[in-house]
Chain A
Amino acid sequence: MKEESSSFLKKRTKKLLDSGVRARDQKSSSFFQKTRPFVLAFLAAWPAHAHHSFAMFDQTKTVTIVGTVKEFHWVNPHVSLWVYTAPANGATPELWTIELTSPGNLTRAGWTRHSVSPGDKVSVSIAPLRDGTHGGGFKALTLIDTKQVLTSDFLEKPGLK
């Protein structure tokens, strides 16, 4: 994606980056320079928000992302989670987008719209995007501070509690 991105993308990218800077180390300009390519790649690969197939995710693989929640969108038809990785040795943080099922299905799996909040430290297992960009389909999440584990697994039987 080139510089002629939409004004929306520019605004959204700036919003993401600005708050990412606040969340991390206040080195705004260097952070922006380092992170911009990652963010634009992420936006280009942003999966369909409309109701879509999950075939873009490679379900045979599992990637675990450890980092800090940037945003959590509790929205139909697919909930989204953005996580900044916390790479070792001063490497550039990466922004990953993770797509989940619907709010209704997550509610049945024990979630609420407050289950995950910006700033939470998390470990998230995902089926990665096949094209290699930083995103994936949700498998499981651990809130590192509380050790709470959240999944979106559906049991297929009647009379569930």
Chain B
Amino acid sequence: MKRLAACLMLAWATVLPAAAAELPDWSGTWTPAVGDQMRRIKTDPVPWTKAAAAQIAALDAQEKAGNPRGLFIDCLPEGMPSWMLITHNALEFLFSPGRVTLLGEADGNRIRRIYTDGRTHSPDPDPSFHGESVGHWEGATLVVDTVGVLPQAYIAVSEAVGLPNNGDLHVIEHLHLAGPDTLHDDLEIIAPHVLTRPWKTTRIYYRQRGRKYEIVEGVCLEGSFTPGTDKNGNAVFVPVPQVNGNPKPQ
């Protein structure tokens, strides 16, 4: 009976939202270890299916030749899991009761809402770039389960090389401090339409406290406009017509 009560207590504790005082300190701004992102592609190779690998090889060749189209030049969000995999920009964590929120920098709409209030996944979540994330704390580790990601969201290994997940994507993450100011995101990426098995890899982020490291606004499409003046003298943005990132002749 005692054992049953202990098991129930344990089960109860794992689904209860952790009190803020018990949570680890993840304040500050976190900058990605970009060099390590590139190294990990070699040490933790992506288990692409044969068909996917052929497409990746073609994209690799385009990138090496210097003329890739790029995966993100349309300013759509990188989404999951690419944001965590390849970002060169900072991110921050906000803890609030029953939720952890990730805010990113640049490219707009980089936000992940991770619900830690004990809920389970929705039966049929609306697909989105970042999917539906449910998390819980295992000690000082945040375990996040993400489903409901758009099939169009890329599994990217760089800004020019990667493939859409093509559906049924499932991402499991263990986020934890590996040192006082070093955070690891241990990812397990399950994408049955493009991967032969779950891809396990890690991404590293470093904590910065300096004020100049604070997140700044970054609107991806801003670069597609140029400051101008309308007929009434108002300061306005004027669109720059583009084709594949180049101004479009009309």
Contact = CB atoms under 8 A, between A and B. Distances in A.
A9 B143 CA distance: 51
A12 B248 CA distance: 13
B88 interface: yes
Contacts of B245: 46-50, 52
B182 interface: yes
B220 A8 contact: no
Contacts of A47: 245-246
A156 B34 contact: yes
B68 interface: yes
Contacts of A12: 226, 247
Contacts of B215: 104
Contacts of A160: 31, 206, 208, 210, 213
Name the interface size band of chain A: 35 or more
Interface string A143-161: 0000000000010111111
A5 interface: yes
A7 interface: yes
A30 interface: no
Contacts of A7: 250
A156 B31 CA distance: 8
Contacts of B160: 52-53, 55
Interface in A117-161: 130-131, 154, 156-161
B75 A9 contact: no
Contact of A6 (B70, B72, B219, B248): B248
A80 to B, nearest CB: 8
B246 A46 contact: yes
A50 B159 contact: no
B222 interface: yes
A102 B250 CA distance: 29
Interface string B161-182: 0000000000000000001111
Name the interface size band of chain B: 35 or more
B70 A48 contact: yes
B208 A159 contact: yes
Q: Main SS of the interface on chain A?
A: loop
A61 B79 CA distance: 33
Interface string B56-77: 0000000111111010111100
Contact of A52 (B70, B181, B182, B206): B70
Interface in A14-44: 43-44
Interface in A44-88: 44-58, 75-78, 80
B107 interface: yes
B89 interface: yes
B164 to A, nearest CB: 17
Nearest to B179: A158
B247 A43 contact: yes
Interface in B15-73: 31, 33-36, 63-68, 70, 72-73
Please give me the 8 A-B residue pairs with the lowest Cβ-Cβ distance, nearest first: A48-B245, A49-B223, A158-B181, A53-B160, A130-B66, A6-B250, A158-B206, A76-B218
Interface of B: 31, 33-36, 63-68, 70, 72-75, 88-90, 105-107, 158-160, 179-182, 206-210, 212-213, 215-224, 226, 238, 240-242, 244-250
Given A55-B68, A101-B88, A156-B33, 6 more contacts: A53-B70, A108-B213, A131-B66, A156-B206, A158-B182, A160-B206
8 contacts: A8-B240, A48-B244, A49-B223, A49-B242, A50-B245, A52-B70, A53-B159, A158-B180
Interface of A: 1-2, 4-9, 12, 43-58, 75-78, 80, 101-105, 107-108, 110, 130-131, 154, 156-161
